[in-house]
Amino acid sequence: MLRNFIAVMKDSFREARNGWILQTLLILIVLFLLVVFSTSVRPLSFAEQVEHELGIWKILFQFEPTTGRPQVAIENANPKNEGEPWTGGGEFDLSVTFATYKDYESARAFFLPGRSVGRFIRLPVDAKRTEEFLSLNGALKGVSVTDVTPEVDKPKKPAKDEEQKEGGKSSDGAKPVKLRFHVTTAGSGYADKLDWPHELTVFFVVNTGFQRPARSMAYYCQNYVVNGLGGWVFCLVGTIVTAGFIPNLLRKGALDLVIAKPIGRVGLLVYKYVGGLIFFLILVTTAVLGMLLAVGVRTGVWSATFLSVIPLLTLQFAILYSVSTLFGVLTRNALVAIMATLLSWGLFFLIGLVADSVYSRERVVAEVAKQTAEGKTVWLDEDGNPIPQDKVMERLDPNAPLFGFIPYSTAPVWKIVHFVSPRTVQLDTWSGKVIAQGVLSERGMKERGWDLNLPATLGEVIAVNLGFITLMLGLASWRFATRDP
Amino acid sequence: MSVIETKDLRKQYGSVEALKGVTLQVEPGQIYGLLGHNGAGKSTMVKILLGIVKKTDGDAYLLGSEVGTTDIRKKVGYLPEDHQFPGYHTGVSLLHFYGELYGMSRPDRIKRMDEALDIVGLKKRAKSKIKTYSKGMKQRLGIAQAFFHDPEVIFLDEPTDGVDPAGRREIRELLQTLKGEGRTIFVNTHLLAEVEMMADRVAFIHQGELVRQGTVAEITRRANRFEIGLEKGTPFPVQEVRDAGFKVEMAEGKAEVELADGQSIDPVLEMLWANGLKLRHLVEQKLTLEDVFMKLVEGSNPGGKKGVRVARPVAARRID
Ligand SMILES: Nc1ncnc2c1ncn2[C@@H]1O[C@H](COP(=O)(O)OP(=O)(O)OP(=O)(O)O)[C@@H](O)[C@H]1O
Ligand SMILES: [Mg+2]
């Protein structure tokens, strides 16, 4: 039995590498990996990091007039721990310049209308608000700010007449408001060196100016490139290439040769199915091992958990290939098998998507209900006024149509259909989470919402998927074993 | 113990009755030919024995086991008709693959490989992809894979299909060699002349029924026709022999005497001696398998569409 299995595996490998598609893809993977190998990352200095944290604000300041469009600059940056700036923090001066007093006033009153987060944002207009401003994204820890604006520059409300002459050349009101704060920080929100922002260079010398924690870059490579793009391409190409394997086996003239050998039909079909996975397995293993190595060497982020993407992605493909196998046995036609597989893939994806939105709706509603009942949380409306407790649910509209057009009353149906259909979307989400757990820090996990519980455990997802595969193969085997060729 | 034994074997494909109760036995060490027209049920018979299709009714045993048993197939080789090998294999890799399925160890396979490829004359092209093979080369490979694993029984469904005349002769010789090694060989064919040259026993199957079986000698002997030639210049006593109740015809100076059932040629010979005539030529004329088969078929289908049958490949392909 084992010998038969090995024989069919070797045969499948031969079939998979026949026709150069596998080789072409492997070459593409290697080329891509070479690009990754050509990159390097450099940790930012303390000053660069503070600058980096202000980056997004600078863009906002430029484009949002209600911020008063301040010019902010870091000066005299001095880390406590030069070699390891992610620990210990340091000190720097923050200079904030508004073009006019009116701009300064605007920044003091800053509030993003209609956007609830806007209410919590404070702009650097005084020591206290600067402290809040700098603490906002959690990248700087233990921020303490003293206002060191020279007495002469202290903002003064210009006299009324002067204000009217705004734009006048020599008037006080047109004079820029220059604020200066001395900031000390006790540390950073980054867990370690790899969590600290790095700058990316590609092709050995091309500096991209792209700054992210090394862990995030590893995450992009592993999750978006390999698990996302790679998984998708491999599944698509794999489906097309392997769809011919079963019909080829069953072709008139080919089948008699094999089933006259001392191998049972069910065994033959199951081995052939597993053999079809080899094509995918080769691609995904190359991509995962290659990327693990490339990312590890270039960023120093080594994650053994990334290896689990090999079985997880293969399971994803195994679901598709089981559909392909069933249709291959039923119709003996590769084209029909491809169409059926791609359609099922889309269908499982849609079911998964809708079901996920049902689950997340339920989670939000439950959370809001709980917090409301506890009475500790006060919900505010768009204008910042508290919403009465009995009106909270009404405003949340828990029965709004899903995606704006699927009536929420169909939710139970989606849940049932999703429960028994293969969990491709949940499996994909789990792959992402497993990758994240391997490379991201706790902070990075939170940032991307991976700290939340997923609606189904990995065990459940795998079990349902294996169940589905067993069902497909069972039907295919039954048909294959009971019908004359 | 018979190698193959069937009792009242029936097979129904939907409404088509491919086998209508076939009973036959094949003893070890024989070359057994199953003959019949296209669609007679030959391949169906073999496929049932190999467990490829399921019998509808009756019994079938292969090497003492009920057919369909997986393990018994280890001792069986098979060349299907119209076979298509996976194009991505080479001759060598295919034999390795099949050999492995038959449970052969790698050293065994390597040991047999050269020999087997040599026997079928494929050595030179053994490492090319099968999709580059000609029809005859594929057929040779098919035969190689059928005996590669040292089976006790070999089923060959139209083994000479697509093979040139020289190749056919080689195949016939190969089958004799394999038989000499004590294997049983079961050949399906509609090429009667061919099977006549190699089979020990044959069976005729017609429209799903076994119409005749026996050794080739037995079946073809029954001509009951003797060709008699006398010493040059002495006339054959035609009238005298006719008067004794024999049918005589003269052709090219020789007499052809046809015996009725129960008649023997001996009285004629005695008559010649008594007349002092000197015998120079006496041959018992044999029927070809084809003659026998055509007769059987006509008999089983009285007033049947003779003309149609003559046009079938049975007659058309005989020439080679
Ligand atoms: N899979 C099948 N489905 C339906 N009918 C079939 C099938 N296989 C064979 N038959 C029918 O069974 C009968 C016997 O076919 P079989 O292939 O056994 O003939 P054969 O003697 O091998 O003919 P040939 O010399 O042409 O190979 C034919 O009428 C054929 O049409
Ligand atoms: Mg046939």
Interval between CA B40 and ligand 1 midpoint (Å): 7
Structure tokens at B207: 């429209």
Please say whether the beta carbons of B273 and B286 come within 8 A.
Answer: no
Same domain, B286 and B174: no
B40 CB within 6 A, ligand 1: yes
Same domain, B155 and B290: no
Nearest CA in chain B to A4: B101
Closest CB to A261: pick one of B54, B73, B87: B73
Same domain, B111 and B242: no
CATH of the domain at B183: 3.40.50.300
Q: Which of A422, A408, A404, A416 is nearest to A348 (CA)?
A: A422
CB-based contact B100 A6, cutoff 8 Å: yes
Atom of ligand 1 nearest to the CA of B81: 27
Number of folded domains in chain B?
2
User: Which of A207-216, A412-421, B47-56, B253-262 shows the lowest per-residue confidence on average (mean pLDDT)?
Assistant: B253-262
pLDDT recorded at residue A363: 87
Please check whether residue B73 touches A, CB under 8 A: yes
Same domain, B43 and B128: yes
SS3 B149: coil
CB-based contact A14 B70, cutoff 8 Å: no
Q: Where are the domains of chain A?
A: 2-39+212-482, 46-195
Domain endpoint, select from B145, B174, B207: B207
Q: Tell me, yes or no, whether B279 lies in a domain.
A: yes
pLDDT recorded at residue B223: 63
Euclidean distance between CA atoms A75 and A94, whole angstroms? 6
- Nearest protein Cα to ligand 1, atom 17: B43
Note the ligand closest to the C-alpha atom of B52.
Answer: 1
Euclidean distance between CA atoms B51 and B103, whole angstroms? 18
Q: Tell me, yes or no, whether B289 lies in a domain.
A: yes
Mean pLDDT, residues B214-220? 82
0.95 surpassed by complex ipTM: no
- pLDDT tens sequence across A297-353: 999 999 999 999 999 999 999 999 999 999 999 999 999 999 999 999 999 999 999
CB-based contact A261 B101, cutoff 8 Å: yes
CB-based contact A14 B89, cutoff 8 Å: yes
Mean pLDDT, residues A253-260? 92
Q: Tell me, yes or no, whether B273 lies in a domain.
A: yes
Same domain, B24 and B170: yes
Q: Tell me, yes or no, whether B161 lies in a domain.
A: yes
Q: Tell me, yes or no, whether B128 lies in a domain.
A: yes
Euclidean distance between CA atoms B142 and B119, whole angstroms? 12
Same domain, B196 and B301: no
Look at the block and give the residue holding tokens 């609830």.
A116
For B16, the domain range is 4-207
Structure tokens at B143: 């035969």
- pLDDT tens sequence across A457-468: 999 999 999 999
Radius of gyration of chain A (CA): 30
Q: Tell me, yes or no, whether B213 lies in a domain.
A: no
Domain endpoint, select from B207, B228, B243: B207
Q: Which of B306, B303, B216, B273 is nearest to B33 (CA)?
A: B216
Kindly report the nearest CA distance between residue A419 and chain B, in angstroms. Answer: 39
Instruction: Write down the mean pLDDT value for chain B.
Output: 86
Which pLDDT band holds residue B318 (cuts at 50, 70, 90)? very low
Q: What is the 3-state secondary structure (H, E, C) of A182-237?
A: EEEECEECCCCHHHCEEEEEECCCEEEEEEEEHHHHHHHHHHHHHHHHHHHHHHHH
Instruction: Write down the mean pLDDT value for chain A.
Output: 89
Q: Tell me, yes or no, whether B286 lies in a domain.
A: yes
Same domain, B259 and B121: no
Euclidean distance between CA atoms A458 and A439, whole angstroms? 19
Q: Tell me, yes or no, whether B214 lies in a domain.
A: no
Note the ligand closest to the C-alpha atom of B156.
Answer: 2
Same domain, B103 and B172: yes
